[in-house]
Structure 1
Amino acid sequence: MEIRMASHGFVRIGVCTPATKVADVAYNCEQIRKLVAETPDCRFFLFPELCLTAYTCADLFFQPLLVDQARKAIVQLAEFTAEHRVTMVVGAPIAHRGRLFNCAVFLSGGRILGIVPKRFLPNTQEFYEERWFSSAADLTATELMWDGESIPFGNDLLFRAEGLPDCMIGIEICEDVWVANPPSGQLAVAGANVLLNLSASPELLGKMEYRRALVQNQSARCLAAYVYASSGPGESSTDLVFSGHSLIAENGTILAETERFRFDSQIAVADVDIERLVNERFKNNSYGGARSDASYRVIDFLLTDVTTERLRRPVAATPFVPPVEEERAHRCHEIFEIQTTGLAKRLLHTGAKRVVIGISGGLDSTLALLVTVKAFDKLGYDRSGIETITMPGFGTTQRTRGNAERLAELLGTGLRVISIDAAVRQHFADIGHDETVHDITYENSQARERTQILMNVANQVGGLLIGTGDLSELALGWCTYNGDHMSMYAVNTGVPKTLVRYLVAWCADAEFSGDISAILHDVCDTPVSPELLPPHENGEIKQRTEDKVGPYLLHDFYLYHVVRLQHRPSKIFFLARQAFGDQFTAREILHWLQTFYRRFFSQQFKRSCLPDGPKVGSVVLSPRGDWRMPSDANAAVWLNDLKQLEGVVGEE
């Protein structure tokens, strides 16, 4: 399924480190052309600082011949952009009114659209730029005459893509980003969401990590993409070595980077999500309240769109779960600390030293129990104050019941086993419900009976009822209103289902050991189920949640992109195709995405009256926190956006 990049708000950008020879303009120009020609699926390219001459020409910059050759090469490259329908930004020395400037030259559609001079010139240690160049602060004109044409000249230029007007480009050069108040900050405030940096950054021990962090942080601070092109080892090695470390970052995340210390030309290509960046700024009132000290001139350029089946950017199938084990363990530790600290604070505030928690042997209640145990340990409370209650019903299996009871015993908590069979049957008789009819009344009567028991026991012992439901269940409304939906403090309310499993597994390895660890691993291997319907004849779980609502793997992906990134449904469908490949068919992805929207909209009323619980990540559905939505909002607009895809999916 091919899509046009601009239709989903993407811009494909190539950041380049071309092979270079010092002072050989013809060679350098040819390497630039070659790199562009060999990357036909990209239409926008950024090259390093002074790439036409090389950065390390030193006093050769005083030679008029070198500067004139660079000027001719710029004209040739401008013509090249028309022939290949590309846009490129290259670095060159530009002479103007008796001064020489280190400049970025913006080329598109066969024309020189603008020239941006460097503002901050390093002149310490190995750098001597003030020997050769003047700063942008020394400009005496805002236009430069070039073969009879007036070219915008200055660091007050912004470049706007005609095919995607939300794409606004700002430019700074090397040292500009290393100073206390980089020009890119003002460019971002003025509307630039793609920030380009033409650089020549010599390599030193530890500098790679610092450079990467600098680029990441500036992209995050500016809510922008930051594209950094750096000179390679073809630069002079008289006193320095250049590695060619070029990067593309988007809002704090590295999308692509080149391999260092390569003498051949390098390019890293990534698809920048302009739509996402615009939305991030919509939501950030600090950005909205920022003001620029300068005015900027906007220059339009034609950005040729790209048609693609595969995005050139990482699209995580599990956005809540880091793929690297070390990072995942760190995140689990942080989340667990947030959960336990939140509960501990609530216990201190209320003065309660007793809590009640219903345990089923499933993932959510197990995690809630582990959080409660560690919160008690943190406060120095006796674990016997934790009243765990398991309430076997019509669908309870021996596996889950056994794990629940054994876990409570090993953890040293109090344990009650209270069967709900008789109470629910009496309730069926009271309301005239046929027990053989396994409908929603049959299921929810059990859930509400369990909550009644838990609430009343909490009153009985003078304690708090700990909620066990997770973020994914809240998104789908997969919780019984005034049943497991309700508690006195919900410790899992910010944790999505895909992460719950990893948290329990992490606890098994990092926080507990022995028999407790073995039980926790078995809980992780147990199918997700509310166990409200009778099991199979062999005692195995019959009712599997994901058979009814769909795979949590997909729903957590949808949740992240709907709530955190605010993407439209058709874009989420496209991204899901990228993330899951052959794991799910296009029809399955579309079906469960439609299910997600229907449930997400129809079940908001449950989220509108949630009990308190800690926020642990960037996605939360608390009506007192990040998500405020009318309970009677209509999903038609979103479902119609997906309906347009049904014909396309049907053809595959």
Structure 2
Amino acid sequence: MKHGFIRVAAATPKIRLADCTYNAKQVIKIIDTAEKQDVKLLVFPELCVTGYSSGDLLLQETLLHHAKMQVKEIINFTKDKELLTIIGFPFEYEGRLYNTAAVIQGGKLLGLIPKKALANYGEYYEARYFSPGPKEAIKVEFLGEEVYFGHKLIFECRNLPDFKVGVEIGQDLYMPLSPGTYHCMAGATIIANLSASNELAGRAGYRRNYIKNQSARLICGYIYANAGEGESTTDLVFSGHNLIAENGTLLSQAEPFSNNELIVSEIDLGIIKSERRRKNNYFDDKDISDYIKIPYCFLDGDYQLKPYKLTRKIKPFPFIPESKEELIKQCEEIFEIQAVGLKARLAHIGTKCAVIGVSGGLDSTLALLVVERAFEMLGLDKKGILAVTMPCFGTSSRTYNNALAITKNIGASLLDIPITDAVIQHFKDIGHDLDTHDITFENSQARERTQVLMDLANKHNGIVIGTGDMSELVLGWATYNGDHMSMYGVNSSLPKTLVRALVEWAADVTVNEELSRVLKDIIDTPVSPELLPPSRENKYQVTEESVGPYKLNDFILYYVLKYGFSPEKIYRMAQTAFAKEYSNEEILKWMQMFYKRFFAQQYKRSCLPDGPKVTRVSISPRGDLRMPSDAKSALWLDELMGIS
């Protein structure tokens, strides 16, 4: 539960209709299993003590009495248990019957929540038995104890202040303004839904998408426990389709008819907190002033947060969809956003010329493809695309030839301008030794290239297209007023891993076989600034040897910029995501490098050229990242130093 993760579960016991004793034993068995798995919130289906489909038996005094007695048995069983358990049963109060959720923890009944939206259409006839519950929470007596009974209850864990649970039942979810909506506005971070939704053709997909969307709309964790085996099949069939979602992401599900009694995952309360914190219009005090917060705590008052092995999957590539179909769609959208942004800028200026430095690497390749697309949209002659290759000391024949080939294949104008002599002359002018391969040696080449591009843009009444990506800019892996500068940066919001994915997509969709071959070779080329001559072993400069693997850097920057997670939490998540690829020592080393560079290089990001935002993470100083250039990294590095 350390770092904001809370382990939760949805359960579907195999019940017998109207056999409350048997059903309670099944519930108790699952509670015991969940407790052993360190689950802290366990949700069961609605009316699971009696069975949802008991029909007119719900009006029988015998069934109602035994249901109440078995709820008491379940409460007693939880006496030494820490997990919060929510079960469904029919509760009678002052002559009315309510479809009710009982919230239980540590041998105590914490509260009772009645169903608000009684389903009374089609195959449902709940109004035959149940009332919707009082408008305001009231205190009622239940087996000698006084507890709150009402819709507007939130259960807060004192040990984990961000762990706040609201409850809704079945059809409540589908109300235009669901109880869960108000629960979340009142501070709930997790919504538990006790449901009994029968299965129909196509309903599972609808249900799955609805719950994912609800968790995204409310920025919450959502646990949906559905009725299953043992319910009556006289007219309906129940599948036990259980779901756990978090802010639009499905974390776990029991496939319909899988007979999976228990699904478990961890909800990240940190994601929920971060998203709500950024959206300052999220909270509204309308209709929430009368909420009652019911506190509880784990049995050990001095409870120590402990990390446990995560069961949820941590994606190593958070910017890239896992499904091939979604990735293709995302690449199409991103490419179009980039091209439309550039198209608008070219049209505004009224120019028919775009100047771009091509190196034969991933970034300039993608930028060149974007320029080509923008020219197609505007109906401009592609000869107006001035693709400039500027070989110098570290240029390899592989990247040089690929730069020439891609320019030829898209029909752009090629300018081959070696800059070696110009840089050597510059070294003489400033008194720099040609054999001293320091930062001056490297940056002089980058600035010479930028000067060439800027002057060509002036000469041809065009604009310089920036090629640098977000990963490089976050790490400051760009020469100030060199490749750091342009007149429009089409890749400035794209992390390196996504740039690679876009070039791969372009290679797959093009009908030009030669272009596809060149693009695939560019993808296979190690990322390098090519500013240093090759070594005696003919090895060229490799960027990732200096700043770390881009896949790891992109993982870190995603959680730093999107959610503001702590270094310790990101380190733990990286351990899970890259368990088979990097050692703990490697992860720690490159995380330290990331934070050092991220803080030290902000001055470069404070004056970035314009460029389109294409994902939810951006570093534009005019939009998403307004960070002082002189902020200190000590707090973040100290936290990393404390990791053993």
| TM-score between both structures, scaled by the size of structure 2 | 0.97
Q: Is the CA contact (8 Å cut-off) linking 1:373 and 1:383 kept in structure 2?
A: yes
Does residue 1:120 correspond to 2:117, yes or no?
yes
Distance of 2:291 and 2:284 partners within structure 1: 18
What are the Cα deviations for residues 347-389 of structure 1, in whole angstroms up to 9, with x where unaligned? 1111111110000000000000000001111111110010010
The aligned counterpart of 1:609 is 607
Return the alpha-carbon distance in structure 1 between the equivalents of residues 445 and 28 of structure 2. 71
Q: Quote the residue 2:30 is aligned against.
A: 35
Counterpart in the other structure of 1:251: 247
Give the Cα separation in 1 of the matches to 2:545 and 2:286.
52
Distance in 2 of aligned mates of 1:15 and 1:301: 21
Q: Distance in 2 between matches of 1:288 and 1:134?
A: 30
1:298 to partner: Cα distance: 0.6
Q: State the partner residue of 1:631.
A: 629
How far apart, CA to CA, are the structure 1 residues paired with 2:110 and 2:596?
A: 48
Partner of 2:97: 100
Query: How far is 1:87 from its partner?
Result: 2.1
Residue correspondence of structure 1 range 387-402 to structure 2 within 5 A: 387-402=386-401
Contact 1:49/1:104, CA 8 A, preserved across alignment: yes
Tell me, which stretches of 5 or more residues in structure 2 are unaligned?
none
Of residues 126, 133, 136, the one that matches 1:129 is 126
Partner of 1:640: 638
Farther off after superposition, 209-218 or 506-515: 506-515
Higher mean C-alpha deviation, range 175-184 or range 469-478:
175-184
**How much has 1:138 moved relative to structure 2?**
6.6
SS at match of 1:136: coil
By how many angstroms is 1:182 displaced? 0.7
1:413 match: 412
- 1:275 maps to which residue? 270
Q: Paired residue for 2:158, among 133, 140, 162?
A: 162
Q: Distance in 2 between matches of 1:593 and 1:553?
A: 12
Which residue identity does 1:272 align to in structure 2? I
CA distance in structure 2 between the aligned counterparts of 1:537 and 1:406, rounded to whole angstroms: 28
2:209 aligns to what SS in structure 1?
Answer: helix
Which residue pairs with 2:195 in the alignment?
199
Summarize deviations over 1:450-501 as a string: whole Å, max 9, x none.
Answer: 0000000000000010000001001000000000000000000011001111
1:25 offset after TM fit, Å? 0.8
- Report deviation, 1:44: 2.1
Report deviation, 1:147: 2.9
Q: Which amino acid aligns with 1:532?
A: L
What secondary structure does 1:436 align onto? coil
Aligned counterparts of 2:450 and 2:217: Cα–Cα separation in 1: 46
CA shift digits 1:100-134 (9 cap, x unpaired): 00000000010111000001101111111000000
Q: CA deviation at 1:343?
A: 0.5
1:541-572 CA-to-partner distances (Å, cap 9, x unmatched) read 51000001111011000000100111000000
Does 2:595 align with 1:600? no
Q: For structure 1, which runs of at least 5 residues remain unmatched after alignment?
A: none
Q: Note the C-alpha offset of 1:63.
A: 0.4
Q: Secondary structure at the match of 1:576?
A: helix
Return closer, same or farther for 1:205/1:316 CA change in 2, 3 Å cut-off: same
How far apart, CA to CA, are the structure 2 residues paired with 1:339 and 1:289? 36
Does 1:261 find its partner at 2:260?
no
Instruction: State the identity %.
Output: 48
The verdict on how the C-alpha distance between 1:574 and 1:138 changes in structure 2, with shifts beyond 3 A counting, is closer
Q: Which residue of 1 aligns with 2:362?
A: 363
Q: Alignment partner for residue 25 of structure 1, among 20, 24, 27?
A: 20
Q: In the aligned structure 1, how far is the partner of 2:5 from the partner of 2:257?
A: 30
Residues 265, 462 of structure 1: CA spacing in aligned structure 2 closer, same or farther, 3 A cutoff? closer
1:338-377 aligned at under 5 Å gives the runs 338-377=337-376
Q: Which amino acid aligns with 1:93?
A: P
Alignment of 1:375-454 (within 5 A): 375-454=374-453
Q: Report the counterpart of residue 571 of structure 1 in structure 2.
A: 569
CA distance in 1 between partners of 2:283 and 2:293 (Å): 20
CA distance in structure 2 between the aligned counterparts of 1:448 and 1:641, rounded to whole angstroms: 37
Distance in structure 1 (CA, Å) of the matches to 2:288 and 2:5: 30
Counterpart of 1:329 in structure 2 is 328
Q: Deviations over 1:54-91 (max 9, x none)?
A: 10011000101111111111111111111333320000
Partner of 1:298: 293
Check conservation: 2:204, 2:256, Cα contact below 8 A.
no
Shift of 1:307: 4.5
* Code of the aligned partner of 1:485: H
Distance 2:558 2:572 in 1: 14
Contact 1:397 1:541 (8 Å CA) reproduced = no
1:225 aligned to 2:221? yes
Does the Cα contact within 8 Å between 1:335 and 1:616 map onto a contact in 2? yes
Partner of 1:189: 185
Distance 1:535-1:397 versus aligned 2 partners, 3 A rule: same
Q: Deviations over 1:378-414 (max 9, x none)?
A: 1111100100100000000111000101111121110
Question: Is 2:176 the counterpart of 1:177?
Answer: no
Deviation at 1:293, TM superposition (A): 4.7
How far apart are the structure 2 equivalents of 1:290 and 1:219?
20
Distance 2:147 2:230 in 1: 31
Q: Greater shift after overlay, 113-122 or 27-36?
A: 27-36
Residue type of the partner of 1:189?
M
CA change 1:292–1:634 in 2 (3 A) is: farther
Aligned length: 638
Judge conservation of contact 1:31–1:265 (CA < 8 Å) in 2. no
Moved more, 414-423 or 76-85: 76-85
**What is the rounded CA distance, in whole Å, between the counterparts of 1:409 and 1:276 in structure 2?**
46
Aligned residue number for residue 502 of structure 2: 503
Structure 2 distance, partners of 1:136, 1:510, is: 58
Structure 1 residue 317 and structure 2 residue 313: aligned?
no
Please tell me the residue identity of whatever aligns with 1:521.
K
Task: State the AA in 2 paired with 1:100.
Answer: L
In structure 2, C-alpha distance between the alignment counterparts of 1:265 and 1:496, rounded to whole Å: 39
Cα distance in 2 between the residues matched to 1:170 and 1:410:
59
The one-letter code matched in structure 1 to 2:599 is: F
2:50 is matched with 53
**SS in structure 1 at match of 2:222:** strand
Deviation at 1:502, TM superposition (A): 1.1
Cα deviation per residue 1:243-277 (whole Å; 9 max; x = unaligned)?
11111110010111113214x45111111111221
3-state DSSP of counterpart to 1:287:
coil
- SS of the equivalent of 1:72 reads helix
Q: Does 1:458 align with 2:457?
A: yes
Q: Are positions 1:484 and 2:483 aligned together?
A: yes
Q: Distance in 2 between matches of 1:8 and 1:531?
A: 40
User: C-alpha distance in 1, partners of 2:27/2:551?
Assistant: 43
How far does residue 237 in structure 1 lie from its aligned partner after superposition? 0.5
Equivalent position amino acid for 1:379 in 2: L
Q: Residue in 2 aligned with 1:13?
A: 8
Aligned pair in 2 of structure 1 residues 398, 537: CA closer, same or farther (>3 Å)? Answer: farther
Maintained 8 Å contact 2:240/2:260: no
1:144 aligned counterpart, secondary structure: strand
Give how far 1:513 is off. 2.4
Contact 2:135 2:150 in 1 (8 A): no
Letter aligned with residue 122 of structure 1:
A
Contact kept, 8 Å, 1:44 with 1:303, in 2: the verdict is: no
AA aligned opposite 1:339: Q
Once the 2 structures are TM-superposed, how far is the Cα of residue 234 of structure 1 from its aligned partner?
A: 1.7
Q: Displacement, 1:302?
A: 2.1
One-letter amino acid of the counterpart of residue 468, structure 2:
G
Q: For residue 294 of structure 1, report the CA deviation from its aligned partner.
A: 4.7
1:291 positional shift: 3.4
CA contact (8 A) 1:347 1:353 kept: yes
Task: Deviation per CA, 1:594-634: give whole Å up to 9, x if none.
Answer: 11000000000000000000000011000011111000000
